[in-house]
Structures are given as structure tokens and as C-alpha cells.
Amino acid sequence: MTITIDTRNQVRQRANFACEFCGVTETDTGGQLTIDHFQPSSHQGNNDLENLIYCCIRCNQYKADYWPTLPNEPSLWNPRCESRSKHFTELDGTLYPLTSTGAFTIKRLKLNRPPLVAHRLDKQRHAEEMHLLSYYQSIIKLQNKMQIQLSVLLKEQQKILNENNEWLALFIKKKE
């Protein structure tokens, strides 16, 4: 059961070129990530797009061929079917479980390993910096508009002063 290049590219694009479990990107890792079967081939998983997960080598290794075979065994979070926010919340780069599936996934995939926590903090800082940069750029644009408006007002004021001086000169001339 090989995965075609077209299928691989579809999975990569659908995942926005990032690990669907931990979020690291191809850019972060310096190369393509792996394609994993959510339901492993060894447990009758197939190559359907919905069963294929784009993930980093670490998440792939930690997940291994895990698949619950008994009803009481825990399930892994499936990023293809459920949102991250249903199972996890993030605080200071650390993921905290909201569900038993979230708790098991964090533990099984070691989603709070120190490099990932640092990575999330860096992404958060970068997002905040970009937000501030955008904010400062909008302030600069507003200041430029205000400067232009002030310049127009100063020209109008100068024109009014000149007209007043002319009227005053006429008035003084008439008085004499």
C-alpha cells in the first residue's frame, strides 16, 4: 500500500504543511514531515485521505502503531475529525487536557516536551510581535494622515491671516 505523490501533496496542503498533532511546520523542521496512518495499516488502516495524517517524525514515533483494540482503551485525538480546542487548551506554551482523549494524546505523543513548549512560546511571541508591528504601522499611517491634514489646515490658516491683514490694511487706509 504505497501513497502516491498526489495523495502526499494533498495531505501536506490540507495540513498547511504542519504536523497535525503538534503544529511544527516544514519550515520549522527544515524539510517535509511524514505521512502517518491514523488507524495504522497493522490494524486494518487504509490509505484514504481521511486516515492519513501529516505529522513530524517525533509525533509519528511516539504514536507508533497505537490503536485501541479493546473498548476501555483510550483513544488518540484525531485532528482530521475534531478541533484541537475541544481536547486541549494552551497556557504559557504548555498544553493542558480538556478531555480524557486530550490527556492521553498529550501523554502518548509527549506534546509537552520542552522543545515543543519553547516552540509554542516562540510562535506566540512572534504572533504578538506581528500584531504590535501591524498596530504601530497603523499608528504611523494615522500620524501621516494627521500631518497632511495639519499641513492643509496651516495653509488655510495662513490664507485667512493674509486675508485678515488685507482687510485690516484696507480698514486702516480708509480710517486715514
Domain ranges in the chain are 5-79
Contact 24, 34 (CB under 8 A): no
Residue 124, number of CB atoms within 10 A of its CB: 13
- Mean pLDDT over 19-38 rounds to 95
pLDDT of res. 2: 82
Per-residue pLDDT reduced to its tens digit, 126-150: 999 999 999 999 999 999 999 999 9
Q: What is the mean pLDDT of residues 34-48?
A: 94
C-alpha cell read off for 173: 487706509
Map grid coordinates 506581528 to a residue: 130
Please say if the pLDDT value at position 58 is more than 90: yes
Residue 1 is predicted with a pLDDT of: 54
- What's residue 39's pLDDT? 95
Average pLDDT for the chain: 94
Q: Any idea which residue has 504548555 for its cell?
A: 94
User: Each residue of 73-110: pLDDT tens digit?
Assistant: 999 999 999 999 999 999 999 999 999 999 999 999 99
Q: Which three cell numbers stand for residue 57?
A: 517524525
Distance between alpha carbon 45 and the CA centroid of its chain, in Å? 31
- Please, which residues have CB within 8 angstroms of residue 110's CB and are 6 or more apart in sequence? 58, 62, 116
Q: How many CB atoms lie within 10 A of CB 52?
A: 23
Give the pTM. 0.76
- The pLDDT value recorded for residue 36 is 95
